Amino acid sequence: MIIDSIKDEFRQIVGDEWFLDTPEDLVVYSYDGFLPEFKPSGVIVPGDRDEISKIMGVANREKINIIPRGAGTNICGSSVAREGGIIIAFHRLNKILEIDRESMCAVVQPGVVNADLQKAVAGYGLMYPPDPASMFVSTIGGNVALNAGGPRGVKYGVTRDYLLGLEVVLPSGEVINTGGKALKNASGYDLTRLMCGSEGTLGILTEIIIRLVPLAPARATLQAIYSDLDDAATTVSAIIGSGIVPATLELIDRTVLDVISDYGGARFSKEAEALLLIEVDGEESLVEAQGKRIEEFCKERGAVQVERASTPEEAEKLWQARRTAFGAVASLRPNCIVEDATVPVKMLPAMIRKIVEITKKYDLKIGVLAHAGDGNLHPLIMTDLRDREEMARIDKAMEELYETAIGMGGTLSGEHGIGIAKDRFMGMEFNEASIELMRGIKRVFDPNNILNPGSFL
């Protein structure tokens, strides 16, 4: 509980309208895409950096937890008041401050929606590559705090690779600036990248400088259809191993295809056991040549058929349908566990075989979806939480899955983060010394542990 006089202090900072504590407001800021609910004591919606700084000053003095929240689409439970406190929401900080064509960068506020940025920079012939499936809703602040990735990661990398600088309000209320518009920077510790993926536990991002790249003049989207999942997986590692770098290389299995194939008028092949959704981009002639090579590659490795989307609209429909895969699969049974284990790409076929094996061994229903080109798997485990016996089997299956992934040189999470979803598995990936070091970093930034407490540490 937070006493009224402190609430009043918050109200004075942002204005009555932007401090919310009605029962209705509290209930709608109690969840994120992970679903367990934690009701906050209030929601504050600041209008600028100075207000945020003042808010943190009060919170630090009174030891009140503050939990940053973008669009609340994360699926690891990292934007909810896990240990109580006040949600700070960035709805009003939604401006693109600058698009600097000469320096190929943009300066944005944290609440800008990824797709809005994409659209704005496309008008300048530029592209912001990270494209999480949640891009039409998730914010750049949330993307940075979770180091979001997306299908284009194969060729272009993830959020971290496009981060040039930040303005950050520390838990004490002090403001720091990290990095800048320069593409290179070798001064001091890399605080910019430390903030990236910090799950809102170290500071509040108030301005973000991101790098842009030229918009590819041409692109082609192909779907390669397989009657065998293993053939599709080996094609992936073969393509990457051969030095061709497609912009995206997604793998979708039968189970997932069944539920997304008709979304929004998309036309996916209905016969496939597995499908690779591949996009190549670049100069027209290169796209042509690469498209052909990939087509041959797929056919040599067992693809029954390779189809090319004939118009950009048709291609966009396929991608749009792909983006709905989580939700669509989740509608099949009461619950759906989205896995995010990631392995080096040459291990992909082995990892997929392992998933198939685990599915059988523990008698589960799992759909396979993967940002295959960078080894990032999203097995979708369909279940019913109320079925305790099945949940126990899932628990074992996941442990085996992580052990395998980490044993292959992979990680617990490619892009979804740890939060409260996987905190108990941290010990598998990090030894005690590493975790203690992270705790130390947290203490330096946030001695009172008021910023998004209850995370993976």
Partner 1 sequence: MRNYEIRVGNLFLREPYGGKKMIPKNIADEFDQCIKCGLCLATCPVGKELFLEKFTPRGKIQLAKHYAAGDLEISQHYRDIFAKCLLCGACSVTCPSGVELKEVLVGMREEIVKKRGIHPNLESAIKSLFVNHNISDEENNERGDWRDDINELPDHMYERELAEVVYFVGCVSSFFPMVQSIPQNMARILEAADVDFTILSGEEWCCGFPLIGAGAPEKMGELIEHNIEQVKGLGASKMVFSCPSCYRTWKEYYKTDLELFHSTQFIQRLIKDGDVPMGELHQTVTYHDPCDLGRNGGIFDAPREVLRSIPGLTLVELENNRAQSICCGGGGNLEIADPDLSASVARNKIEEIQRTGAKTLVTSCQQCVRTIKGKVRIEKVDLDVLDITDVVVRAMSDA
Ligand X SMILES: Cc1cc2nc3c(=O)[nH]c(=O)nc-3n(C[C@H](O)[C@H](O)[C@H](O)COP(=O)(O)OP(=O)(O)OC[C@H]3O[C@@H](n4cnc5c(N)ncnc54)[C@H](O)[C@@H]3O)c2cc1C
Identity of the residue, 127 or 137, whose beta carbon is nearer to partner 1 in the bound complex: 137
Identity of the residue, 262 or 283, whose beta carbon is nearer to partner 1 in the bound complex: 262
Residue 348 touches which member of ligand X, partner 1, none, C-beta under 5-8 Å by kind: none
Distance of CA 90 to the CA centre of its chain: 18
Kindly indicate which of the ranges 138-146, 280-288, 391-399, 403-411 contains the residues binding ligand X, using the contact rule CB under 6 A: 138-146
Instruction: Record the tokens describing residue 270, joined without a space.
Output: 């209905």
Contacting residue, 165, 200, 291, 379, with ligand X by CB under 6 A: 200
Work out whether 109 is an interface residue with ligand X (CB under 6 A): no
Q: Which amino acid is it at 117? A: L
Q: Which residue's structure tokens are 């290169």? A: 286
Contacting residue, 65, 139, 223, 404, with ligand X by CB under 6 A: 139
Kindly indicate which of the ranges 39-47, 65-73, 178-186, 382-390 contains the residues binding ligand X, using the contact rule CB under 6 A: 65-73
Strands ordered across the beta sheet of 376-377: 303-308, 218-226, 274-282, 248-253, 369-371, 376-377
For residue 111, CA distances in Å to 46, 115, 171, 276 come to 11, 12, 19, 33
- Is residue 88 within 8 A of residue 80, CB to CB? The reply is no
Q: Which residues of the shown chain bind partner 1 in the complex (CB under 8 A)?
A: 20, 22-25, 27-36, 45, 71-73, 75-76, 82-83, 89, 91-92, 94, 115, 134, 136-138, 260, 263-264, 323-328, 330-331, 334-340, 381, 385-386, 391, 394-395, 398, 413, 416, 420-422, 424, 454
Work out whether 446 is an interface residue with ligand X (CB under 6 A): no
| Least distance from ligand X to the Cβ atom of residue 339, Å | 13
DSSP type of residue 435 = H
For residue 398, CA distances in Å to 252, 366, 404 come to 20, 12, 10
Which of 106, 306, 75, 329 minimizes the C-alpha distance to 213? 106
Give the number of residues written for the chain: 457
Work out whether 33 is an interface residue with ligand X (CB under 6 A): yes
- Is residue 384 within 8 A of residue 391, CB to CB? The reply is no
Contacting residue, 108, 146, 191, 398, with ligand X by CB under 6 A: 146
Work out whether 379 is an interface residue with ligand X (CB under 6 A): no
Helix residue ranges per DSSP H, 215-311:
229-241, 254-260, 284-300
Kindly indicate which of the ranges 37-45, 99-107, 144-152, 173-181 contains the residues binding ligand X, using the contact rule CB under 6 A: 144-152
Q: Which amino acid is it at 390? A: E
Which of 311, 282, 284, 279 minimizes the C-alpha distance to 294? 279
- Is residue 439 within 8 A of residue 457, CB to CB? The reply is yes
- Is residue 179 within 8 A of residue 164, CB to CB? The reply is yes
| Least distance from partner 1 to the Cβ atom of residue 220, Å | 23
| Least distance from partner 1 to the Cβ atom of residue 32, Å | 7
Kindly indicate which of the ranges 56-64, 97-105, 134-142, 284-292 contains the residues binding ligand X, using the contact rule CB under 6 A: 134-142
Identity of the residue, 163 or 370, whose beta carbon is nearer to partner 1 in the bound complex: 370
Q: What does the binding site for ligand X look like in residue numbers (CB under 6 A)?
A: 32-33, 67-75, 78-79, 90, 110, 132-134, 138-139, 141-143, 145-146, 148-150, 199-200, 204-205, 326-327, 415-416, 452
